[in-house]
Amino acid sequence: MPQACWQHLDHGADIGVCGYAASLAEAFAQAALALTALITAPEGIVEREAVSIECREADPELLLYDWLNAVIYTMATRGLLFGRFQVVIEGDRLSATAYGEPVDRPRHRPAVEVKGATLTELKVRRIAPDQWLAQCIVDV
């Protein structure tokens, strides 16, 4: 079984986030981790707080769009960075717990501010029998 991972895609002034994993839920978690990695190194984030995030959308691509925007909104309004995501997807409902801590500018050294997920190159699909892709371009 392939290991879960994430990557970034160059896209003009914006950048893409991709999550790959054996399950749809873990691919969504990896895409959110790629989002965090645009800002700071996820491994440097301490799990001091757990925040629940929920989204509901029948279309898996629009669910990814809503999910990433919910993560961005939560980070911005609460002043947090997340280094781990636990995601459950049941039908059209996503329930997640994001683990992280308040932004510590000297320690985290934020590289960019992510403004929002876009509909550009939005993809959610199975790319192999045991591999899902969750991809989205985000505005930075």
- Report the number of distinct structural domains present in the chain: 1
For residue 130, the 8-state DSSP code is: T
For residue 104, the 8-state DSSP code is: -
For the chain, give the longest Cα–Cα distance.
43
Q: Is 39 helix (H, G, I), strand (E, B) or coil?
A: helix
Which pLDDT score is estimated for 13?
Answer: 64
Q: What is the CATH number of the domain that holds 124?
A: 3.55.10.10
User: What is the pTM (predicted TM-score) of this model?
Assistant: 0.91
Which pLDDT score is estimated for 1?
Answer: 54
Amino acid at 27: A
Are the beta carbons of 120 and 112 closer than 8 angstroms?
A: no
Q: Which DSSP helix (H) or strand (E) runs through 58?
A: none
* Separation CA 24–CA 81 (nearest Å): 23
Low-confidence ranges of the chain (pLDDT < 70): 1-2, 10-13
Closest C-alpha to 83, from 133, 48, 124: 48
Q: Which domain holds residue 99?
A: 5-139
